[in-house]
């Protein structure tokens, strides 16, 4: 034990931040702490007049950073052999694209008293969809002038992403936009804060956020060119000038912990801090991603990540959020797909619709007793738009098959099934474009907590589903990046491959598809796919007369 070392992962989620202290040699999680963001509604600043708006307060991040690390260290201190001075590295993941407008010193505008009451000066959370018009504009402009830009991000630029948000801010709040020297992704700001490199001229930005959300790609020399941005809005060119040529992957350190932070946190001064990345990407690392392995991170939304060797002749994959070199692992393309809402849909049903006073457990228990198809329901999981493969926020949820006997449990199960169908669309898209899915590892809260959901996913996808051993794969992956930037010589790991071998694994339980269920779900999926295309794909004409009737036939057969 005396030779064991530790790494810290900091995982900034949508509603809270978690710190995790992990043993580098084993992946054993020895200390953790979660800090819920105190501002707004569960950490999200909302506007009653605009359901698309979702902002955060950067002060929550700073408070959460300090509190969660100190508490996680205190938790770890109960373990024999642990000591803060044995921590060798620190890594960070966040949500994204979650850009923060900052001043010329790199300080968030939200801290400027002038903007205290202006939500546009706060953090623009990933799920903010106010910028859908600008996303459409960027997509159209790129389609006309830079088709290559779109080819790497699925054919459509999203309202959740960096340039949409900046352009929207420029249009609706020029005062904030002009006051912002530049915009920094949450994932880049946190490592900069800890290493004292927030100043825009010193700031190191990660390839993950840049590549997946800000149209950064080495093949065209980094961020989009000024002429392209000028075609959208002259003012974007000024921001472009603040962005660097070089970006960093999570095997690279952006600096070391400042003495001030070292003292505040009780950690060794000089501790290396890895470049930040998105939660899903480091979650995939914490789940042991490798070529052929699809990692599904199932939480409020999902990310469905794969990697493919940089030397593979990879086609552009329509509808994928991004194809970015080294955004997940060095030496590999990072491929990102995802569903805009999964757990969020179940939570909406439980918290907002509040059916019959049933919570998730009660609904799950009742839904688990239903046979596939017996409710006669079919839903589309688009309550928050569709990220993959349609890349369209202007879509909405649907449910059909309602009768006067439809129960809350049936609806709950229908929404679960809808997200499973959405997951299958993503898997099939990967495979159709030469990225075979040989193994599926799931992580995230829902995969750990809800066996019914996982069985339905296995049945719908027709594949065995594994569950990551860690229940905190994002924070674990972040800690692994800390171990990698520490390096083998300093008690860390020489590479992510080594870190994955030493620190990750899967649970014994594997969810195997049940053939009888698969047969029903194949029929339901065919109907789902038709509704998906009818409402989601331009120019598709379909005769849907048989849909309700086929659902009733399937229902009647299931009840027999």
Q: Which is nearer to a second copy, 197 or 301 (CB)?
A: 301
Minimum CB distance to a second copy, residue 341 (Å): 6
Contact between 84 and 19 under an 8 Å Cβ cutoff? The reply is no
Question: Does 403 sit near a second copy (CB under 8 A)?
Answer: yes
Q: What string of DSSP letters covers 288-314?
A: T--TTEEEEEESSSEEEEEEEETTS-P
* Binding region for a second copy (CB under 8 A) out of 49-57, 221-229, 259-267, 321-329: 49-57
Question: Could you give phi then psi for residue 17, rounded to 5 degrees?
Answer: -120, 140
| Locus of tokens 């034990």 | 1
DSSP at 389: S
Question: Does 558 sit near a second copy (CB under 8 A)?
Answer: no
Q: Which is nearer to a second copy, 414 or 426 (CB)?
A: 414
- Run of H or E residues at 127: none
Sign, Cα dihedral of 135, 138, 144, 147:
negative
Asked if the peptide bond before residue 97 counts as cis, ω within 30 degrees of 0, the response is: yes
Question: Does 399 sit near a second copy (CB under 8 A)?
Answer: yes
* Binding region for a second copy (CB under 8 A) out of 245-253, 376-384, 444-452, 467-475: 376-384
Contact between 304 and 263 under an 8 Å Cβ cutoff? The reply is no
Minimum CB distance to a second copy, residue 358 (Å): 9
Q: Which is nearer to a second copy, 311 or 543 (CB)?
A: 543
Q: 408-432 and 451-461 are packed helices; what angle lies between their axes, rounded to 10 degrees?
A: 50
- Run of H or E residues at 253: strand 253-256
Question: Does 13 sit near a second copy (CB under 8 A)?
Answer: no
Minimum CB distance to a second copy, residue 102 (Å): 29
* Binding region for a second copy (CB under 8 A) out of 233-241, 331-339, 519-527, 533-541: 533-541
Question: Does 557 sit near a second copy (CB under 8 A)?
Answer: no
Q: Which is nearer to a second copy, 62 or 548 (CB)?
A: 548
* Binding region for a second copy (CB under 8 A) out of 118-126, 291-299, 388-396, 470-478: 388-396
Near a second copy by CB under 8 A: residue from 51, 147, 270, 436: 51
Minimum CB distance to a second copy, residue 110 (Å): 24
Measure the CA–CA gap between 419 and 298, rounded to whole angstroms: 10
Q: Which is nearer to a second copy, 145 or 396 (CB)?
A: 396
Minimum CB distance to a second copy, residue 395 (Å): 5
Contact between 336 and 281 under an 8 Å Cβ cutoff? The reply is yes
Near a second copy by CB under 8 A: residue from 199, 396, 464, 488: 396
Near a second copy by CB under 8 A: residue from 244, 266, 291, 355: 355
Measure the CA–CA gap between 92 and 356, rounded to whole angstroms: 40
* Binding region for a second copy (CB under 8 A) out of 157-165, 231-239, 444-452, 540-548: 540-548
Minimum CB distance to a second copy, residue 545 (Å): 5
- Chain-centroid distance of CA 484 in Å reads 22
- What number of chain residues touch a second copy (CB under 8 A)? 52
Minimum CB distance to a second copy, residue 383 (Å): 5
* Strand 87-94 relative to strand 332-339, pairing: unpaired
Residue 315-344 contact track with a second copy, rule CB under 8 A, x = bound: --------------------------x--x
Near a second copy by CB under 8 A: residue from 106, 272, 376, 444: 376
Question: Does 345 sit near a second copy (CB under 8 A)?
Answer: yes
Near a second copy by CB under 8 A: residue from 20, 380, 414, 485: 380
A 10 A CB-CB count for 483 gives: 35
Near a second copy by CB under 8 A: residue from 295, 320, 395, 416: 395
Burial of 38 (0-12, 13-18, 19+ CB in 10 A): exposed
Minimum CB distance to a second copy, residue 125 (Å): 13
Minimum CB distance to a second copy, residue 16 (Å): 18
Question: Does 50 sit near a second copy (CB under 8 A)?
Answer: yes
First-last CA distance in the chain: 60
Question: Does 551 sit near a second copy (CB under 8 A)?
Answer: yes
* Binding region for a second copy (CB under 8 A) out of 203-211, 254-262, 307-315, 353-361: 353-361
Contact between 132 and 316 under an 8 Å Cβ cutoff? The reply is no
Near a second copy by CB under 8 A: residue from 168, 213, 235, 383: 383
Asked if the peptide bond before residue 389 counts as cis, ω within 30 degrees of 0, the response is: yes
Question: Does 552 sit near a second copy (CB under 8 A)?
Answer: yes
Minimum CB distance to a second copy, residue 446 (Å): 16
Question: Does 357 sit near a second copy (CB under 8 A)?
Answer: yes
Question: Does 398 sit near a second copy (CB under 8 A)?
Answer: yes
Near a second copy by CB under 8 A: residue from 356, 432, 490, 516: 356
Bridge partners (DSSP) listed for residue 338? 303
Return all residues near 545 (Cβ < 8 A) that are at least 6 apart: none
**Which has the closest alpha carbon to 103: 198, 31, 172?**
198
A 10 A CB-CB count for 9 gives: 32
Measure the CA–CA gap between 301 and 312, rounded to whole angstroms: 29
A 10 A CB-CB count for 344 gives: 20
Question: Does 445 sit near a second copy (CB under 8 A)?
Answer: no
Question: Does 354 sit near a second copy (CB under 8 A)?
Answer: yes
* DSSP-based three-state secondary structure for 439: strand
Angle (CA) 442-282-489 rounded to 5° is 125
Contact between 230 and 237 under an 8 Å Cβ cutoff? The reply is yes
DSSP at 33: E
- Chain-centroid distance of CA 342 in Å reads 12
Instruction: Name the site residues for a second copy (rule: CB under 8 A).
Output: 49-51, 341, 344-345, 348, 352-357, 376, 380, 382-384, 394-408, 411, 534-545, 547-549, 551-552, 559
């Amino acid at each position: 034990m005396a030779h064991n070392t530790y790494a810290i992962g900091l995982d900034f989620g949508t509603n809270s931040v978690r710190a995790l202290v992990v043993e580098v040699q084993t992946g054993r999680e020895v200390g953790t702490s979660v800090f819920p963001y105190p501002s707004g509604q569960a950490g999200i600043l909302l506007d009653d007049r605009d359901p698309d708006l979702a902002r955060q307060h950067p002060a929550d991040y700073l408070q959460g950073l300090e509190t969660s690390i100190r508490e996680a260290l205190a938790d770890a201190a109960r373990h024999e052999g642990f000591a803060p001075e044995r921590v060798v590295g620190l890594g960070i993941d966040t949500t994204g694209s979650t850009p923060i407008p900052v001043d010329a010193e790199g300080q968030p505008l939200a801290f400027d008293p002038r903007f205290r009451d202006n939500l546009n000066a706060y953090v623009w959370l990933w799920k903010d969809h106010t910028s859908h018009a600008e996303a459409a504009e960027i997509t159209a402009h790129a389609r006309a002038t830079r088709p290559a830009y779109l080819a790497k991000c699925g054919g459509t630029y999203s309202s959740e992403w960096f340039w949409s948000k900046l352009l929207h801010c420029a249009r609706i709040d020029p005062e904030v936009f002009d006051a912002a020297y530049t915009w920094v992704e949450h994932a880049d700001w946190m490592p900069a804060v800890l290493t004292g490199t927030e100043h825009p001229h010193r700031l190191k930005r990660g390839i993950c956020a840049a590549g997946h959300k800000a149209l950064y790609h080495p093949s065209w020399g980094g961020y989009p060119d000024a002429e392209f941005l000028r075609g959208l809005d002259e003012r974007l060119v000024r921001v472009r000038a603040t962005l660097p040529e070089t970006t960093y992957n999570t095997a690279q350190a952006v600096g070391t912990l400042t003495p001030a932070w070292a003292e505040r946190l009780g950690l060794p001064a000089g501790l290396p801090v890895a470049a930040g990345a998105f939660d899903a990407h480091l979650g995939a690392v914490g789940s042991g991603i490798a070529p052929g392995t699809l990692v599904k991170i199932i939480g409020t939304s999902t990310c469905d990540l794969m990697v493919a060797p940089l030397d593979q002749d990879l086609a552009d994959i329509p509808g994928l959020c991004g194809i970015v070199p080294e955004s997940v692992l060095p030496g590999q393309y990072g491929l990102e797909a995802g569903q805009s809402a999964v757990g969020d849909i179940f939570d909406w049903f439980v918290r907002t619709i509040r059916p019959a006073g049933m919570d998730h457990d009660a609904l799950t228990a009742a839904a688990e007793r239903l046979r596939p198809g017996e409710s006669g329901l079919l839903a589309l999981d688009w309550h928050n738009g569709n990220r993959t493969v349609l890349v369209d926020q202007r879509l909405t949820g649907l449910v059909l098959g309602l009768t006067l006997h439809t129960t809350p449990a049936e609806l709950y199960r229908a929404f679960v099934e809808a997200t499973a169908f959405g997951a299958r669309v993503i898997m099939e898209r990967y495979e159709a474009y030469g990225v075979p899915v040989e193994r599926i590892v799931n992580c995230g809260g829902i995969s750990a907590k809800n066996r019914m959901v996982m069985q339905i996913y296995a049945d719908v996808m027709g594949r065995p589903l594994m569950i990551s051993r860690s229940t905190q794969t994002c924070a674990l992956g972040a800690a692994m990046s800390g171990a990698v930037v520490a390096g083998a010589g300093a008690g860390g790991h020489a590479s992510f491959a080594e870190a994955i071998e030493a620190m990750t694994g899967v649970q014994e339980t594997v969810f195997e598809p049940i053939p009888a269920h698969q047969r029903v779900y194949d029929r339901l999926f065919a109907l789902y796919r038709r509704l998906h295309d009818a409402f989601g794909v331009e120019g598709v004409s379909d005769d849907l007369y048989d849909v309700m009737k086929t659902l009733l036939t399937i229902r009647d057969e299931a009840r027999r």
